[in-house]
Structure 1
């Protein structure tokens, strides 16, 4: 009886929402109190609007303001503008709270049972915390993907077309969620609205840059994307190959990523031509596949970006916990223990720094889930009922 009451209490959306907000505020205040080095990523986002207005190259080093580089779309400066203009401590708290709220409400919007949503909220919480500690944009990207799915399910094509493009304006790979439109009617309407939203979002910097500097801003952005690709392997399949095969060179990165793109295309086209998207379960698996794939083949993937991959794991588990019970239960435990908890203080620092990080242990459980899901989709092995 007591166990059930505790379970019911912890399943209440208001309680979970309160935890999400409390965690966000605590992390924000903790990092602000420790000084600028602890919220460096936020400083990068915050300074971008001023650089844009001053007609400076957004993607150069500005060591007097922060370390590292601004790698985001020029329109992100405008989207982030409210946080650039508010006082620093207020904007930092609100930024992390917005990231958590986006994740919470995106999960809430999904066409899942309440018990599944509650599991989703709690299971991803530690991964969300990892992302919040880096003030990362990743929760917004995955929230955009989940909302895209919900809006497509509800037939709201106009707004469904917007969210993948908003995600793209944060990080380019967020656009992958736009591919879900293939499995829904009103494809022409989706494409038309996508073009409209793309133009609107691309022009966002124009009032700040003016015509003279507008084109240069996009040239600078393209240049940093090319340079970024040349130096990374990431917390990804590419990184694992580098760990296991040290001679793996940058020339091989493009080949592996191309193979990943081809495999992604083949998988989705097979599902499309075989009508392997008619049920909600099938569409949830396609969403799960996109969420995992976009991180596992991403040369820029980091530990905090796994807040994008973990929803794929959760959806895989929710769909398959009956059909593939032993596989699903084993994999979900492996992901929690060796992926979600990998960067936390659950493990001693020596173990984290000498084993988990250099050997990319965090990546391996998600790769296993992706492999099982890949086989499942190619062999058409899942239930054909809603």
Structure 2
């Protein structure tokens, strides 16, 4: 009884929000005070460059930051409220805004409250890794979760809004179209999606000009192509993906992405053949977990802070398991140690370097993703929907 009471203290949604906000503030201030907030400056100046009609994707020595921006023009509007603030306030509130969107997404899922709280705890450390870099991936994970949840709730406009937003900001948001088959009124959903996409395309023109935005989208495409080429070197901090793992273990940067991407996509699509399972909430949640992990392990742009997206998928998968046997628990621990802890000082420097240089951060996620695909192809998900951990969603 006493142990149950002690554990119940932690099963509190306000405590999870408090923990994440504390992590956001501490990470932001720590990096700001050590003058290591280059990513935030890249984000901040997308707004100022946009309103001044300056190039968004040029690594100029005149810029007060290093490296290039790789986010879409619509991102400048999202960062605007923070960009106008002093940097100490902007960095803190930026991180806080990101974790609020992430938790909004987690607590929107059709799971019972305690399950969502545990998912929040499982993701906390990986979120912290992204927060130290002021990464938008934290909020992007939330938008993918929200687009999924709103489809289940038949709030098509809200779902289409978050899909369009994620796509126009970082392209990753487009993966939420994986949930399109769960949409009931598909034509209305497509219409809403087009309206949102056009809006995100046009609104930045109000703060700049149509010619500037058209030119900027072309430059964005070029920057993404160039970034993809540079990511596949064997010693970069990007390409922490399944393809990167294969290239680095083989010591061959010329191994192409195409065959591996096509193979991964074929496996990803296989569970769609089980049409009879579509109505089961657990099947849909497993597809959500698969999508979140697939997005990261099959992207050459994946870096360490990107893995908050994949780790949300791992947390959802773990909580959906009807039996937390030794294999399931071992996979979670493996992912937590190799994927989540590997960038930290807890892991010896030589081991950290070994994990990074061979893209081994992707390995546990890949193993869990293959497990998800196998389970989606073999399990009867009706039994999952009869457990207490899933919240009912009517008329699916």
Alignment TM-score, normalising by the size of structure 1: 0.93
Once the two structures are TM-superposed, the CA of residue 338 in structure 1 deviates from its matched residue by 1.6
Q: Is the 8 A contact 2:334 2:364 kept in 1?
A: yes
- Taking the aligned partners of 2:171 and 2:183, their CA distance within structure 1 comes to 23
The whole-number CA distance in structure 2 between the counterparts of 1:182 and 1:372 is 22
1: CA distance between counterparts of 2:325 and 2:305? 28
Determine helix, strand or coil for the equivalent of 1:93. helix
What residue is the counterpart of 1:49 in the other structure? 47
Among 56, 60, 63, the residue aligned to 1:62:
60
Residue equivalent to 1:255: 259
Task: Please report how far the alpha carbon of residue 183 of structure 1 lies from its aligned counterpart in structure 2 after TM superposition.
Answer: 1.8
Q: Write the distance in 2 (CA, Å) between the matches of 1:243 and 1:382.
A: 38
Query: How far 1:359 moved relative to its partner?
Result: 2.3
**What is the rounded CA distance, in whole Å, between the counterparts of 1:313 and 1:214 in structure 2?**
38
Asked if 2 retains the 8 angstrom alpha-carbon contact of 1:140 and 1:167, the reply is: no
Unmatched 5+ stretches in structure 1: none
Query: What is the aligned partner in structure 1 of residue 394 from structure 2?
Result: none
> For 1:198-243, what per-residue CA distance to the aligned partner results, in whole angstroms no more than 9, with x for missing partners?
1001112111221332211111111111111212231101111112
Structure 1 segments of 4 or more deviating over 4 A?
none
Distance in 2 of aligned mates of 1:285 and 1:212: 43
In the alignment, structure 2 segments of 5+ residues that lack a partner are 233-238, 386-396
The answer to whether the Cα contact below 8 Å between 2:293 and 2:365 also exists between their aligned partners in 1 is: yes
State the match for 2:106 in structure 1: 107
Cα offsets for 1:154-181 (capped at 9, x unmatched): 1111111111111112211221012202
TM-score of the two chains, using structure 2 as the length reference: 0.91
CA distance in 1, matches of 2:172, 2:104: 22
Give how far 1:5 is off: 2.7
- Separation in 2, partners of 1:122, 1:214: 40
Number of aligned residue pairs: 377
What secondary structure does 1:221 align onto?
A: helix
Give per-residue Cα distances to partners, 1:297-350, cap 9 Å, x unaligned: 00100011110001111111122242x734322211211122111112221223
Distance 1:115 1:210, change over 3 A: same
Quick check: 1:236 aligned with 2:241?
yes
Alignment of 1:214-229 (within 5 A): 214-229=213-228
Deviation at 1:268, TM superposition (A): 5.0
- Aligned partner of 2:393 in structure 1 is none
Cα RMSD (Å) of the superposition? 1.6
Looking at structure 2, the residues matched to 258 and 60 of structure 1 have their Cα atoms a distance apart, in angstroms, of: 32
Cα pair 1:127 1:306 within 8 Å, conserved: yes
> Which residue matches 2:5?
5
1:161 partner SS: helix
Q: Give the distance between the partners of 1:232 and 1:359, measured in 2 at CA.
A: 14
Q: Deviation at 1:291?
A: 0.5
1:245 alignment counterpart = 250
Deviations 1:30-58 (A, max 9, x none): 111111xx110000000111211222211
The answer as to 2:333 corresponding to 1:333 is yes
Matches within 5 A, 1:267-346: 267-271=270-274, 274-322=275-323, 325-346=325-346
